[in-house]
Structure formats: C-alpha cells, structure tokens
Amino acid sequence: MKHLKPFLRIFSIILLIELILISTPDWWSYRIFTKPLVVGSLLVFFLMQQVNQMTKKLVSAALILCIIGDILLIYARNSTEFFIAGVSAFMIGHIFYAIQFSRIRNKNVGVLAPLAVLLGYAIPLFYYLSNALYNMAIPVGIYVVVLLIMILFAYLREDSTTNNSYIYVLAGALLFMLSDSILAITKFKIDIPFSKILVMGIYGIAQLLMIIGILKNSVNSPSINSN
C-alpha cells in the first residue's frame, strides 16, 4: 500500500483539526473546509493506489457521496431538507460500499445469525427513537435498512479475503453504525456528552478502517497481497 504511514499522519492532523473546530462553536464556519477534507483525503489516498477498475469506481463513488453528505449535514442543524439530503447521500454511499463488499462475499457464511444480531441492535434503537422521529421515521428507517445491509455484506466477506482486510472492513462498518447511532440519539432524543466529537471522531476512524481494509484486499497491489 503506497504512502500509508505519511498519509496516516496527515489524516490524523486533519481529523484532529476537525475535532477541535467541532468542539468550538465560534469556529464552526471553518468546518466547511475541514469536515469534507477528512473523507476527501481518504479519496485522494485511495486513488493513489493500484486497484481494479470496478473497485475504484464503486469505492470512489461511495467516498464522494459521503463527502457530499458531510457538506450537507453542516447546514442541517436547522433544516430538515438539508438533513434528508445529507442522509440520502450517505445512504447511496452505503449502497456502493455494499456492492463492493458483496463482490467478495463468502456464500458459505450464514446470513441469519449476523442479521439477527444486527436487527437485535437496530430495532430497539429505532423503537427508542420512534416517538421523536415524526415525519422523519420513514427516511430514517430506510437509511437504517441500507446501513444494516452494508454491514451484513462486510460480515459476509469472512474467510473470502485476508484476515486483516476482513477485520478492518467489518470494524469500520460497525463503527460507522455506532457513529450514526450517537448522531441519531443526540438529534432526536437526548444530548450525549461530547456527542459531536464522538460522532465525527468515530466516523473518521470508521471510514479510514474500511478504506484500508478494501485496499488490503486489492488484487493489483503486490505489497497488499504479501500481507
């Protein structure tokens, strides 16, 4: 994997600056630069790597949609329209991630057990939020379903790829769900201490882990295949 160590240093600095800005309301206007740069830096790093064309198209599309979602959600504090648009961008991004993960699915791995675990987490959380969602119930419900499908396909890569790749991708997908959960609880129900820092920090790490995991499985990178 080309330039991983220097990129990790750069990515850490970008994410740290974003977390500082998000914890300081007077500086929020500068987040229009730092927030999309978190995933934007991942996109640049990903495009520098040698991956097959289908992987490049799917993952690039997912990252671009996440950047769009990040920008839209900056303006979503007092706008339902921006929130729905941002969530929609992330949802489509999850679909591209899910398609990428499904390409390496191990058909011998059962679906019911991981699906039961995911539903056992998502259904109680959605029920907890339901009385505060109002007209957002359907959009949020659809988003949750797509997110679970993405995580399920991340799980179904088990034993069909390198252990490192599998662990990175699954851990990233689960952290994505955790970040979204904290965001949803804070937006619709109760404020969680340091929620903004937690949401963005966990989200940034989640995206990083998924991209590294995808690259570790790239058939076109000799340094990755040697792992």
Q: Say what the pLDDT of residue 189 is.
A: 94
Query: What's the number of CA atoms in the CB half-sphere (13 Å) around residue 93?
Result: 21
- Answer whether 0.75 is exceeded by the pTM: yes
Using CA atoms of 102, 106, 107, 109 in order, give the dihedral in degrees to the nearest 10.
-120
Q: Say what the pLDDT of residue 161 is.
A: 75
Q: Say what the pLDDT of residue 225 is.
A: 38
Burial 80-99 (b: 16+ CB within 10 A, else e): eebbbbbbbbbbbbbbbbbb
Q: Say what the pLDDT of residue 131 is.
A: 93
pLDDT average per 10 residues of sequence, the chain (227 residues): 93 97 88 95 96 95 97 86 94 98 90 96 96 92 97 89 88 98 95 94 98 81 38
- How does DSSP assign the chain, residue by residue? -TTHHHHHHHHHHHHHHHHHHHT-GGGGGGHHHHHHHHHHHHHHHHHTS---HHHHHHHHHHHHHHHHHHHHHHT-TT-HHHHHHHHHHHHHHHHHHHHHHHTT--TTS-SHHHHHHHHHHHHHHHHHHHHHHGGGHHHHHHHHHHHHHHHHHHHTTTTSS-HHHHHHHHHHHHHHHHHHHHHHHHHHT-PPTTHHHHHHHHHHHHHHHHHHHHHHT-TT-HHHHT-
Q: Say what the pLDDT of residue 158 is.
A: 83
Q: Say what the pLDDT of residue 118 is.
A: 97
